[in-house]
Amino acid sequence: MEIGNNVFICSNCIILKGVKIGENTIIGAGSVDTKNIAAGQIWAGHPAKFLKNKDIEKIL
């Protein structure tokens, strides 16, 4: 498992072995992450599914 900087992982998440999570990503509560996740995305669900891209420019 490899987790980038500024990643927010909510409670009760399961991240499987070998999964890589990019920077500035959000993983929703109770999610089961079975795939690699690119930087700047929001994922949630069981199994985790892509919801939307984060717009980093609006946050900064």
Q: Name the pairing type of β-strands 41-44 and 49-53.
A: antiparallel
Please write the tens of the pLDDT for every residue from 6-49: 999 999 999 999 999 999 999 999 999 999 999 999 999 999 99
Going from N- to C-terminal start, the domains of the chain cover: 2-54
Q: Is the pLDDT of residue 59 over 70?
A: no
CA distance linking residue 19 with residue 27, whole number of Å: 13
Q: What would the CATH number be for the domain defined by 2-54?
A: 2.160.10.10
Give the list of residues 6+ apart from residue 2 with CB closer than 8 angstroms, or none. 19, 20, 21
Rounded to two decimals, the pTM is 0.84
